[in-house]
Amino acid sequence: MAATLSLSKFTSPPPKIPRSPSKSLPNSLSIAKSQSPVSESTQKSWNPISVDLKSTSLPLAALTLPFFLESKEALAVGGEFGILEGRSVALIHPVVMGGLFLFTLYAGYLGWQWRRVRTIQDEINELKKQLKPVAVTPDGSPADKPLTSSPIESKIQQLTEERKELIKGSFRDKHFNAGSILLAFGVLESVNGGLNTWFRAGKLFPGPHLFSGAAITVLWAAAAALVPAMQKGNETARNLHILLNAVNVTLFIWQIPTGIDIVLKVFEFTTWP
């Protein structure tokens, strides 16, 4: 009997100690607070700054939102270059080249007027050779002064007056300045045209417009390279300068229809801006 009682006492399970959930919860909260890297006082000090950042970012987002909403529509390829792929930048090349074409004609007019200043003097010298010598008295005055001038003398007088007016126009300096401007902006815009095509399409399109544009750029440089020889009076260089620029203008005119076709494609495949 005693053995049975002692065995039952040995095999009985140990009593369970009840845990109050109300006591364990504050402990866990206190542990979490102790493990948090940011204290309560630090959080309170940072809250106003975060509120200020949010309040300032809101109007900035509202201002920039209209620009980002339409950006994708203006991109012709992938959008890597932003507005450089849009219609606004693409139309710079045809507008500038159209102005340079008219400026080329103006520079040619100035060059022709300056050439006229040089050649008119040669005409005057040739006419003077055709005049008959006039008899003079021993004191140097004409023996028989004609009442009216001869046609040759009238022509010489006319050319002399014309040459004086041309010299007043300063066509030499104007032509030099116009040629310098044409060379600078022409080369710049020729390169820009090829770059803009690459921005929009990701490649160049070999064809009449590209090849004639490259030839025009080369002719600009070649004509400008002849200027030092022209300033020394080399007539061959002057004639070659005129020839190169005549070919340049011809290519320019021939390039206009293909340029118009490209402009139409720009309006077809791009949008503003």
- Whether pLDDT at 19 is above 60: no
The Cα 114–Cα 166 span in angstroms is 8
pLDDT, averaged across the chain: 75
- Whether pLDDT at 97 is above 80: yes
Return the structure tokens found at 109: 């007019």
- Whether pLDDT at 224 is above 70: yes
Burial (CB count <10 Å: 0-12, 13-18, 19+), residue 80: exposed
Coil, strand or helix: which one is 142? strand
Q: Which residues of 222-236 are buried (b: 16+ CB within 10 A; e: fewer)?
A: ebbebeeebeeeeee
Tell me the per-residue pLDDT of 135-167, one tens digit each, with 9 for 90 and over.
666 666 666 665 567 788 888 889 999 999 999
Q: What's residue 195's pLDDT?
A: 87
The gap from C-alpha 115 to its chain's centroid, in whole angstroms, comes to 33
Q: What's residue 20's pLDDT?
A: 45
- Whether pLDDT at 237 is above 80: yes
Q: How many contiguous H segments (helices) and E segments (strands) does the chain have? A: 10, 0
Least confident of 26-40, 120-134, 249-263: 26-40
- Whether pLDDT at 105 is above 80: yes
Q: What is the mean pLDDT of residues 34-57?
A: 45
Scanning 40-170, the segments in alpha helix (DSSP H) are: 40-69, 87-90, 92-129, 151-168
